[in-house]
Structure 1
Amino acid sequence: MPDRALRKLVNSISFRIALPSFFTILLFIIAIFFIILPELEKSFISRKQETIRELTETVWSLLESYSEREQSGELTREDAQNRAISRIRKLRYGIDKKDYFWINDTYPRMVMHPYRPDLEGKDISDFEDPNGVFPFRKFVDLVNKKGSGYIDYLWQWKDDPLKISPKSSYVMGFKPWGWIIGTGMYLDDVHAEMAAIRIKLKVISAGILFIVSLLAAYSIRQSILADRERENIAIEREQLLESLAQSTERFRNLLETTSDWIWETDRSGRYIYSSPRVKDVLGYAPEETINKDLMDLASPRSSEALSPQYEELLRAKKPFSGFECTCLGKDGQVVVLENNAVPVVNEEQVLLGFRGIARDITDRKVAMEALKKSRDDLRASLEETVASLASTAEKRDPYTAGHQLRVDRLACAIAKQLDLSEDEIEGLHIAALLHDIGKITLPSEYLAKPTELSKKERAIIECHPEVGYEILKPIHFPWPIADIVYQHHEHLDGTGYPQGLMDKDILLEAKILAVADVVEAMSSHRPYRPSLGITKALDEIRDGRGIRYHAPSVDACLHLIQEKKIEFCTEDWCQIFL
């Protein structure tokens, strides 16, 4: 085949190898930025709206309590209203504690606004935002028609009257006093958070594209080299076949042009013939290898490690292939040889020696090490991304900082006790670090509340496994991470949440994670209670063994702690001693 045609074919093959990889990554990035992120933003706004609705309903309940005191005669209406206004004026929430509530009546007049006291007691029916929207009229119309709902408009940024930003508010009417109570979220906050996520994804995507480009370039290069090598081998093989038809001498001459080192040994493994190719492979002249064996050419470390194995191959008197040995060339260069040989016997089937070839696979070994390093780098990148996500969740809940890492340590130790594979343990490790990722959408005041949560608040907290599932579901992990996170609060008897699954429907990793989570949570401090201690934590899983908690996981956990394979310190957990 002409060189030009061969290069054209090689380039065509190389592009067919590289293009699918690039298109796959590009489609993945397009899906993230044009499908997943817009849906995530919609979901984020929806959850924010749900949060302000719940907060407004809570403050509405506060008004109701004062109204009841008025109706009972305990307070006059004026006193009840003043007290309600005083309490609501001081209420704040949000990351910077500047989000607030206001009250206007159905006239509409401003009853109370913590950042606009200049409007209090005034007619605000003609108050107009820069877009021509009369928000307070809309509040009154919405409450009269539906009792409550959402309104979008422009308003000053929290306590900064000079900055005007888009705002979405939830208002709710309080009929006994003719009031409207409301609070809202600033859409700039949502857009800023989404922008930060986009920036991170852009950096990650750029990194992935760069790595894929390097791998594709490497694959193309190896494909070209392999095609050239195959071409050389084909040419040499064709010449060899032609030579074999002419004479034994010509066969030997052609045979010695092959790229591999051809050799023959006696029954003890010492070379009695060595092709000239050995000069290119090891730098020795063929005669310099005569009466030496492979172990004489091997590096000291390889010789020590491989001598028993090589002697066993010779004693077996059978063909062998793929025997790799690291040798030292004449100039001290390191060469990895792959040896393949067949026994040579006489008519009486007595072993005379071996005939074989030695192939220089140094480049292949180097390439394999490079591929392994690339794979390890990708895995490290995944670990860093997961750690970043886990850190994001813990920043929302500082009272449980380190919880996910401690649960990860204990869960992986239990998995090792249960003889799970390394791949399964790695998947459990990722799931443990992310099992509370759903808490990033929960109100921070619930997470840091210093008293017991109400029934409604607990119900909201118990949504975090489902939220974590929705966050992780679109990410294509090699393991069922989203399902493990979804199920980590499920119990064998169906009393867990959020799905109430039974034993057979719960993943093994989720069962292990549930035991580790309970032990860590009970033995650690929480804002609403001090640590219950490791003894009570172990009593809990012991009492629930086989009922709520996976029995083998409970047994493994008890063994680890009682045998001090994993220990607890006063401030934090010590390392695992396995």
Structure 2
Amino acid sequence: MLENAMQKMFKTTSRRIAVPALLTIALYVIAMFIIFLPHIEKSFVSRKKEMIRELAETVWSLVDNYHERELSGELPRSDAQNRALLRIGTLRYGPEKKDYFWVSDMTPRMIMHPYRSNIVNKDIKEIQDSSLKRLYLRWNEVVAKKGAGYVGYQWQWKDDPNKMSDKLSYIKSFQPWGWIVGTGMYLDDIYAEIGAIRNKFVAISTVILCIVLILSLYSIRQTMKADNELMLSLIERNELNESLKESKERFRSLLENTSDWIWESDKKGRYTYSSPRVEELLGFSSKETMHKTIMDFVPSNLKSLYQETFKNLLGAKKSFKGFETTCQKKNGQHVVIENNAVPVFSENGSLLGYRGVTRDITDRKMAMEALKKSRDVLHANLEETVKSLASAEEKRDPYTAGHQTRVDRLACAIARELGLSDQQTEGLHFAALLHDIGKIALPSEFLSKPTSLSHQEHEIIKCHAQVGYDILKNIHFPWPVAEIVYQHHEYLDGSGYPRNLTDKEILLEAKILTVADVVEAISSHRPYRPSLGMDSALEEIQNGRGIRYHAPCVDACLKLIKDEKIDFS
């Protein structure tokens, strides 16, 4: 009867646990593989299409820039077109830097293709490939109807003329010159990336499902085991009593042979019990330590360092951990030990004494000192490396030499004024030194242009925040340096760039850096204008206080300048 009752109980328990677990697994599979995964794949393809559209628009803007130079009389049309084609022909992107741009006209005729020189400048009548002719006509149809759009077709795989692959391109017409500018993505690449995402997703999901299943089985097994132990507890009680006696003996043996010194003391810290380990630790026998305190083993010239702390620890009548002392062994050698203890109270709540553990931490202290020294060296190397990177950018832009250093000085002063931690301030320091590192990839003629930048040139200059982030994101700083650099031109009202972030999305360090950057830029000389002066700089941040610029940062900066606590000279 008892066995049948137990089996019935086990089945009921298993069912109560297994059914919810299986339902959870089923819902997870449905949600992940039917809803979320297809959505993720669709979103991925959409982002890729948007990427090639933005790339094509960027090249279109480049062509428009040369057209403006033609209209202004700076360049004749032939020179403007040749320069545009040369620039476009060298542009590459993608993981292998083999994805490219091409240009055709309305003839239709290919006028620039980096990998298919055999079809460049050939009229459609001279081309024998019928599929290529149809493709030219499709391009013309798309731009004639919409001016821009996506076109799918088969094309040579990157720079491999022997391999054909499905491709989706975005094309856009440039009417003033009768050009069509385009770039595209190979669908094999897209499917490969989607496949990798799907495989990773499946692997993770499989692991999660396995864990859920294992936990369910474990819960069932543990429940059954607990019930079984409950039913057999009366039978095992005598055996447990015997085991308890054996355990006490093992505990006593462990206590006397453990690597730590275990002790008991009265409320004044005098030892009433001392394990044999003390002889190995200090050279004194257990008997020799009786009725002494830890202060009796501290060298006389060091007692003043620990006496007051020891007295306060005993007086607090609380547990204490990590009380470190330097003791003198019986042979005269010094050893660093760590003392941990808990108070022992009587039934009426009065303090009886302490039970504690003491261990030798001499090697650990030495290792920590070595680690600290190594950390200081690494930090110094990091500082020099960051300054070298900042110096490399300034060599590309000599007109703003010292800009990053001055911004760093002001930003760190604002951070300290706002009460930021040393850790945050140090991260801001490195971000300030590197905030314009992205300019290293920009055309030098833009950086040193003695006149105002055109709209297109300004848009290219604005890319330096993104480029700086791309350079720094894979460097494992202990602070969010890459993200601070990415955000240093973002404003509270969302009017900044490159991501139009708003107040709550911007890091505090980036808000500080923005204020410091604006003040330094306005108050310093630039290639296209002389310094506007510190008064103009302070007026700008006052006018934008709470709108574009973080109000506490503005107030801190104004106070520093007013009190002459910061000097840009």
Q: Which interval holds the TM-score relative to the shorter structure?
A: 0.5 to 0.7
The answer on 1:53 being equivalent to 2:60 is yes
Which ranges of structure 2 fall in alignment gaps of 5 or more residues? 1-39, 94-99, 190-243
What is the deviation of 1:279?
Answer: 0.8
Aligned partner of 1:181 in structure 2 is 179
Mapping of residues 124-273 of structure 1, within 5 Å = 125-127=125-127, 133=132, 140=140, 143-144=143-144, 146-147=146-147, 180-181=178-179, 238-239=248-249, 260-262=261-263, 264=265
Aligned partner of 1:340 in structure 2 is 341
1:398 to 386, 396, 399: 396
Aligned partner of 2:515 in structure 1 is 515
Q: Would the aligned equivalents of 2:172 and 2:182 in 1 still touch at CA under 8 Å?
A: no
The 3 A distance-change label for structure 1 pair 147 and 277 is closer
- 2: CA distance between counterparts of 1:495 and 1:254? 69
Partner letter of residue 321 of structure 1? Answer: F
Q: Would the aligned equivalents of 1:295 and 1:303 in 2 still touch at CA under 8 Å?
A: yes
Aligned partner of 1:250 in structure 2 is none
The 3 A distance-change label for structure 1 pair 438 and 275 is closer
Task: Give the secondary-structure state (helix, strand or coil) at the position aligned to 1:567.
Answer: coil
The 3 A distance-change label for structure 1 pair 120 and 415 is closer
Partner letter of residue 324 of structure 2? Answer: E
What is the deviation of 1:394?
Answer: 8.0
- 2: CA distance between counterparts of 1:277 and 1:397? 65
Partner letter of residue 280 of structure 1? Answer: E
Task: Give the secondary-structure state (helix, strand or coil) at the position aligned to 1:451.
Answer: coil
Task: Give the secondary-structure state (helix, strand or coil) at the position aligned to 1:327.
Answer: strand
Partner letter of residue 336 of structure 1? Answer: I
What is the deviation of 1:284?
Answer: 1.8
Which deviates further from its counterpart, 416-425 or 404-413?
Answer: 404-413
TM-score normalized by structure 2? Answer: 0.54
The 3 A distance-change label for structure 1 pair 271 and 362 is closer
What is the deviation of 1:417?
Answer: 0.9
- Corresponding residue pairs, total: 449
Cα shift readout 1:88-132 (whole Å, capped 9, x = no counterpart): 324454797999999876445788999999999874643579x98
- 1: CA distance between counterparts of 2:426 and 2:466? 22
What is the deviation of 1:310?
Answer: 1.8
- 1: CA distance between counterparts of 2:394 and 2:49? 21
What is the deviation of 1:303?
Answer: 3.2
- 2: CA distance between counterparts of 1:396 and 1:41? 35
Aligned partner of 1:84 in structure 2 is 77
The 3 A distance-change label for structure 1 pair 97 and 106 is closer
What is the deviation of 1:549?
Answer: 3.4
Cα shift readout 1:491-546 (whole Å, capped 9, x = no counterpart): 56776567878778866444323211212323455454455455543453355555
- 2: CA distance between counterparts of 1:146 and 1:40? 21
Which deviates further from its counterpart, 408-417 or 492-501?
Answer: 492-501
Task: Give the secondary-structure state (helix, strand or coil) at the position aligned to 2:284.
Answer: coil
- 2: CA distance between counterparts of 1:257 and 1:559? 65
Task: Give the secondary-structure state (helix, strand or coil) at the position aligned to 2:279.
Answer: helix
The 3 A distance-change label for structure 1 pair 427 and 83 is closer
CA RMSD of aligned residues (A): 6.6
Cα shift readout 1:415-456 (whole Å, capped 9, x = no counterpart): 111112345546655765676688799888756655323345
The 3 A distance-change label for structure 1 pair 171 and 274 is closer
Task: Give the secondary-structure state (helix, strand or coil) at the position aligned to 1:556.
Answer: helix
Task: Give the secondary-structure state (helix, strand or coil) at the position aligned to 1:361.
Answer: strand
What is the deviation of 1:182?
Answer: 5.3
- 2: CA distance between counterparts of 1:497 and 1:550? 16
1:360 to 353, 358, 361: 358
Task: Give the secondary-structure state (helix, strand or coil) at the position aligned to 2:567.
Answer: strand
Q: Would the aligned equivalents of 1:438 and 1:465 in 2 still touch at CA under 8 Å?
A: yes
Task: Give the secondary-structure state (helix, strand or coil) at the position aligned to 1:311.
Answer: helix
Q: Would the aligned equivalents of 1:148 and 1:172 in 2 still touch at CA under 8 Å?
A: yes
Aligned partner of 2:420 in structure 1 is 420
Partner letter of residue 84 of structure 1? Answer: R
Q: Would the aligned equivalents of 2:523 and 2:534 in 1 still touch at CA under 8 Å?
A: yes
What is the deviation of 1:171?
Answer: 6.7
Identity of aligned residues (%): 43
- 2: CA distance between counterparts of 1:313 and 1:503? 48
The 3 A distance-change label for structure 1 pair 90 and 469 is closer
Aligned partner of 1:305 in structure 2 is 305
